[in-house]
């Protein structure tokens, strides 16, 4: 396994390429040999929330899935994927029966869940239950977590270009505010890791589905800033800028750390983002 060389930056306000403000907060730890992105600052603000983000490091898969590929239908051997999942779940102490997984069909549908399982036809999950770990699998698309500490309501979303344009973030905030009556003034959100604007080129017809602020044409291509779009959607739904956090990494810019569907032309693995309301001690 490659040696991990990551710095843990101080919490500071940053701007996306489009000048959208956010905080960058992910820190790296190593548990049972697996590097994990965690959010100590966010968990301090939002007690009860637990988030783990994986990188490509710490597993057993050979190239181009090296090494912690958690995606099943990407070309890697199932035995490798199963072993990687086992290693991860042991490292984070989450039993597999707790995993609630969205099928992820690049849509904007969301399921409300109370137990583990595969939820078909959705790209987002909402829960108020403990002993459920919401799971989002990505390799360039953005995982987005929204949590309201006072109501104990948690959402995990898979936000790619289609789901974003389809309004999945707005949809999640509708469920959280209407069904669970969350106070968006005190809700927090995490966005990413995902592909940055410089790395993400799209067809014109796809770019034009997004506001002018997050798309730009240069060097012969349309570029889409999905990170800025996610943050703006969260803002529009009522979240305060001070409560929106960015993992701080582009999956495509960092081949040493992340899989990237775009950069690796589809032959690559998947990371997991796990979010749960911590069980009572
Ligand atoms: Zn990039």
Any residues with CB less than 8 A from the CB of 244 and at least 6 apart, and which?
A: 22, 23, 188, 189, 191, 231, 234, 235
DSSP 3-state of 256: coil
Could you tell me if residue 184 is inside a domain? yes
Count structural domains, the chain: 1
How close is the Cα of 252 to the center of ligand 1, in Å? 5
Confidence of residue 144 (pLDDT cuts 50, 70, 90): very high
How close is the Cα of 269 to the center of ligand 1, in Å? 17
How close is the Cα of 221 to the center of ligand 1, in Å? 15
With 50 as the cut, is the pLDDT of residue 229 above it? yes
How close is the Cα of 228 to the center of ligand 1, in Å? 13
Confidence of residue 18 (pLDDT cuts 50, 70, 90): low
Q: Within the chain, what is the greatest distance between any pair of CA atoms?
A: 55
Could you tell me if residue 39 is inside a domain? yes
Could you tell me if residue 3 is inside a domain? no
For Cα atoms 82, 147, 116, give the angle at the middle one, nearest 5 degrees. Answer: 35
The Cα–Cα gap between 275 and 100 comes to 10
Q: Are 232 and 165 in contact (CB under 8 A)?
A: no
Nearest to 157 by CA among 137, 143, 170, 171: 143
The Cα–Cα gap between 64 and 10 comes to 33
- Check residues 86 and 279 and name the one with the higher pLDDT: 86
Counted residue by residue, the chain has a size of 281
106-120 pLDDT per residue, tens: 999 999 999 999 999
Could you tell me if residue 119 is inside a domain? yes
pLDDT at 116: 98
Nearest to 4 by CA among 32, 40, 33: 33
pLDDT at 24: 67
With 60 as the cut, is the pLDDT of residue 7 above it? no
Please state, as a whole number, how many other Cβ atoms lie within 10 Å of the Cβ of residue 178.
Answer: 9
How close is the Cα of 100 to the center of ligand 1, in Å? 29
The Cα–Cα gap between 121 and 28 comes to 32
The Cα–Cα gap between 215 and 207 comes to 6
pLDDT at 5: 38
pLDDT at 43: 82
Confidence of residue 281 (pLDDT cuts 50, 70, 90): low
Which tokens in the block code for residue 215? Answer: 């798309």
Tokens 């983002």 belong to which residue?
273
Could you tell me if residue 2 is inside a domain? no
Could you tell me if residue 1 is inside a domain? no
How close is the Cα of 49 to the center of ligand 1, in Å? 28
What is the extent of the structural domain holding 218? 12-277
Q: What is the CATH number of the domain that holds 264?
A: 3.60.140.10
Could you tell me if residue 17 is inside a domain? yes
Which tokens in the block code for residue 266? Answer: 């589809």
- Check residues 57 and 42 and name the one with the higher pLDDT: 57
């Amino acid at each position: 396994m490659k040696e991990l060389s990551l710095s843990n930056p101080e919490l500071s306000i940053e701007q996306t390429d489009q000048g959208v403000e956010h905080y960058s907060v992910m820190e790296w730890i190593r548990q049972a040999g697996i590097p994990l992105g965690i959010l100590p600052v966010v968990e301090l603000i939002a007690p009860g929330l637990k988030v783990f983000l994986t990188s490509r490091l710490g597993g057993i898969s050979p190239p181009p899935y090296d090494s912690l590929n958690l995606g099943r239908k990407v070309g890697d051997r199932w035995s490798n994927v199963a072993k990687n999942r086992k290693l991860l779940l042991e490292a984070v102490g989450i039993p597999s029966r707790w995993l609630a997984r969205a099928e992820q069909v690049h849509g904007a549908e969301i399921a409300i869940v109370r137990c583990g399982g595969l939820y078909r036809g959705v790209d987002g999950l909402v829960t108020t239950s403990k002993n459920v770990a919401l799971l989002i699998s990505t390799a360039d698309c953005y995982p987005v977590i929204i949590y309201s500490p006072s109501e104990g309501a948690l959402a995990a979303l898979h936000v790619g270009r289609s789901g974003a344009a389809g309004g999945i973030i707005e949809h999640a905030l509708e469920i959280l505010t209407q069904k669970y009556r969350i106070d968006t003034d005190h809700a927090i959100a995490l966005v990413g890791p995902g592909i940055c604007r410089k790395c993400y080129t799209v067809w014109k017809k796809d770019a034009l589905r997004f506001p002018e602020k997050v798309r730009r044409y240069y060097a012969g291509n349309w570029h889409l800033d999905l990170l800025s779009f996610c943050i703006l959607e969260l803002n529009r739904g009522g979240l305060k800028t001070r409560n929106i956090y960015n993992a701080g990494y582009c999956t495509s810019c960092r081949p040493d750390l992340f899989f990237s569907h775009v950069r690796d032309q589809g032959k690559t693995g998947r990371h997991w983002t796990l979010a749960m309301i911590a069980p009572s001690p």
